């Protein structure tokens, strides 16, 4: 019992309420949109389960992602934020849906998995820039939202920016090889 209480206390201490609120809202909309074309009697139940479950867990997952940003090896932290935490979250999410009621159709599951990957990449992007963090590292939610247009633009331009930086590194490397 003491261990359980300690685990719950530790999980609650890293709970990220900002991400819990946003994730529950966004993921529920994705489920609802994916299920709107299906003629399922349990469609609203699936959305209700999603809202309750994600609200309860997304803050813990985002808190773990925030903790992963502190890892000494940046790549390891990035993998934890983008792969490990969302992978565990998706697996547990699927199990909860299977245990409680009707299984989500494959279409909804695929849609949520794609959304989760993009969402995790976006979490990494904004958290590395100091947004949607809680605790001492965090700013107000209003400040996070004020920064959102610039953060979204940076996220959307990230592939082009990364490619340009890679090309510049390759050109510098080729120049240094030629100078030898």
- What local confidence, expressed as pLDDT, does residue 41 receive? 61
Closest CA to 96 of 153, 139, 39, 56: 56
**pLDDT tens figures, 152-180:** 999 999 999 988 888 888 888 877 777 76
Instruction: Kindly report whether the global pTM for this prediction surpasses the value 0.95.
Output: no
Q: Per-residue confidence at 123, pLDDT binned at 50, 70, 90? A: confident
Q: DSSP for 122-165?
A: HHHHHHHTT-S--GGG---HHHHHHHHHHHHHHHHHHHHHHHHH
CA 178 to mean position of chain CA atoms: 43
Task: Say what the pLDDT of residue 38 is.
Answer: 65
Average pLDDT, the chain: 82
Beta carbons within 8 Å of 143's beta carbon, 6+ residues apart: none
Cα–Cα distance, 169 to 174 (Å, whole number): 9
DSSP assignments along 14-80, one per residue: T--HHHHHHHHHHHHHHHHHHHTTS--TTHHHHHHHHHHHHHHHHHHHHHHHHHHTT-SSHHHHHHI
- The closest of 151, 164, 162, 146 to 124, measured between CA atoms, is 151
Tens of pLDDT, residue by residue over 7-19, are 567 666 777 888 8
pLDDT of residue 5: 74
CA 137/CA 73 separation, integer angstroms: 19
């Amino acid at each position: 019992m003491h261990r359980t209480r300690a685990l719950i206390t530790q999980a609650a201490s890293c709970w990220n309420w900002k991400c819990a609120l946003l994730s529950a809202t966004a993921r529920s909309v994705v489920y609802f949109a994916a299920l709107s074309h299906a003629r399922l009697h349990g469609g609203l139940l699936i959305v209700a389960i999603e809202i309750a479950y994600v609200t309860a867990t997304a803050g813990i997952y985002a808190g773990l992602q925030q903790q992963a940003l502190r890892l000494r090896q940046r790549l390891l932290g990035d993998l934890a934020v983008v792969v490990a935490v969302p992978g565990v979250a998706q697996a547990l999410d699927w199990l909860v849906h299977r245990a409680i009621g009707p299984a989500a159709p494959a279409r909804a599951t695929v849609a949520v998995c794609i959304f989760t990957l993009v969402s995790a990449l976006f979490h990494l992007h904004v958290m590395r820039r100091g947004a949607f963090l809680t605790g001492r590292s965090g700013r107000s939610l209003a400040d996070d939202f004020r920064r959102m247009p610039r953060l979204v633009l940076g996220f959307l331009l990230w592939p082009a920016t990364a490619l340009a930086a890679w090309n510049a590194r390759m050109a510098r490397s080729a120049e240094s090889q030629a100078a030898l």
